[in-house]
């Protein structure tokens, strides 16, 4: 299997805005993710999960270490990595279709061609009939699907998701999780998923990475060899949940 994403001794320090002191956000992160894996990242709040995703997506530069994507080093925000934000980050002045078309549009693809492509995604993501609506008219679940479609249309190799379902109610969350698993199955993308919801991480991922509290380091890597869909009440599931909760309690949640 190819290694899709490799982080080597990644560090991130920044200066505090209040007193100018150096803050170590991430320290010596070593992660290797093979192609097509679904990996979750959990950790106490403020441990640098979001910072890590921003670094992998190219929005921020690491202070030290390397990021290899398909074995290559990158130095600009790169299209091989797509980032889905917790707050959806849809452009409010664009309709659903125009939001999804954003990537192809700036690549200079012709209106007909990108319209066709966007229509496929609209259909696939169950957004038929909502193409010409603006984000303010959509439910949270729909907004999130538009956000995922907008990322996916660029065909990234790796999809990073920052608590994508954190802002959704629990029913919508379950259906979105199912939707995401289907999508993963169909596209075979590598997914790195940040969540604070342990059950969600256990239901979705093949590998679970626990980060320590700040400065964030990899505390534990757990492989979850269970078939999908997973039974949240099974013994294995309960045992894993307990194990992870204990790690997190050690880190002060």
Partner 1 sequence: MPSGYLLHNHCLQSLYRVFAGFFIATICAIPLGIIMGWSRSLRESITPLIEVLRPVPPLAWIPLAILWFGIGFKSSVFIIFLGCFFPIILNTVSGVLSIDSILIDASKTLGATKKDIFLKVLTPGSLPSVLTGLRIGLGIGWMTLVAAEFTGVKSGYGLGYMIMTARDIQRPDEVIAGMAVIGLIGYLLDLLLRGIESRLLIWR
- Pick from 59, 99, 96, 86: which is nearest to 75 by CA? 59
190 binds partner 1 (CB under 8 A): no
192 binds partner 1 (CB under 8 A): no
Could you say which of 24, 74, 89, 109 contacts partner 1 (CB under 8 A)? 89
Q: Could you count the other beta carbons within 10 Å of the beta carbon of residue 73?
A: 10
Which lies closer to partner 1 via its Cβ, residue 105 or residue 199? 105
* Window 46 to 75, contacts with partner 1 (CB under 8 A): 54, 57-59
Stretch that binds partner 1, among 79-87, 114-122, 169-177, 214-222 (CB under 8 A): 79-87
* Window 143 to 172, contacts with partner 1 (CB under 8 A): 150-151, 154
| Spatial distance between the Cα atoms of 83 and 163, rounded to a whole number of angstroms | 11
What sign results for the dihedral spanned by CA atoms 58, 64, 70, 75?
A: positive
Which lies closer to partner 1 via its Cβ, residue 107 or residue 188? 107
Could you say which of 20, 71, 92, 129 contacts partner 1 (CB under 8 A)? 92
Antiparallel, parallel or unpaired: β 3-15 and 22-34: antiparallel
Which lies closer to partner 1 via its Cβ, residue 57 or residue 195? 57
Q: DSSP string of 46-93?
A: TSSHHHHHHHHTTSS--SEEEEEETTEE--S--TTEEEE-TT----TT
Smallest separation (angstroms) from partner 1 to the CB of 95: 8
Q: Are 121 and 152 in contact (CB under 8 A)?
A: yes
103 binds partner 1 (CB under 8 A): yes
Smallest separation (angstroms) from partner 1 to the CB of 86: 9
Q: Residue 69: left if φ>0, alpha if ψ -120 to 50, beta else—which one?
A: beta
| Spatial distance between the Cα atoms of 55 and 164, rounded to a whole number of angstroms | 17
Where would I find the beta strands (DSSP E) of 145-227?
A: 158-162, 190-194, 207-211, 218-223
Smallest separation (angstroms) from partner 1 to the CB of 153: 9
106 binds partner 1 (CB under 8 A): yes
Could you say which of 136, 170, 186, 225 contacts partner 1 (CB under 8 A)? 136
Smallest separation (angstroms) from partner 1 to the CB of 158: 11
Which lies closer to partner 1 via its Cβ, residue 132 or residue 246? 132
Q: DSSP string of 8-33?
A: EEEEEEEE-TTT--EEEEEEEEEEEE
Smallest separation (angstroms) from partner 1 to the CB of 87: 6
């Amino acid at each position: 299997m190819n290694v899709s994403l490799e982080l080597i001794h990644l560090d991130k320090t920044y200066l505090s805005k209040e007193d100018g002191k150096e803050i170590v956000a991430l320290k010596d992160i070593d992660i290797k993710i093979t192609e097509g894996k679904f990996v979750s990242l959990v950790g106490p709040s403020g441990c640098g999960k979001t910072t890590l995703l921003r670094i992998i997506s190219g929005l921020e530069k690491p202070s030290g270490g390397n990021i290899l994507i398909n074995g290559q080093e990158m130095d600009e925000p790169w299209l091989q990595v797509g980032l889905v934000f917790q707050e959806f980050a849809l452009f409010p002045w664009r309709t659903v279709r125009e939001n999804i078309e954003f990537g192809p549009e700036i690549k200079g693809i012709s209106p007909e061609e990108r319209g066709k492509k966007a229509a496929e995604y609209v259909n696939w993501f169950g957004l038929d009939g909502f193409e010409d609506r603006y984000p303010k008219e959509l439910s949270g679940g729909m907004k999130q699907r538009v956000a995922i479609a907008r990322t996916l249309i660029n065909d990234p190799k790796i999809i990073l998701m920052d608590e994508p379902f954190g802002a959704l109610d629990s029913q919508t969350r379950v259906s979105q999780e199912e939707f995401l698993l289907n999508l993963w199955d169909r596209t075979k993308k590598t997914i790195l998923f940040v969540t604070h919801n342990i059950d969600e991480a256990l239901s979705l991922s093949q590998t679970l990475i626990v980060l320590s509290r700040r400065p964030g380091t990899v505390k534990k890597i757990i492989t979850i060899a269970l078939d999908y869909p997973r039974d949240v009440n099974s013994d294995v599931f309960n045992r894993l949940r307990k194990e992870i909760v204990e790690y997190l309690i050690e880190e002060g949640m």
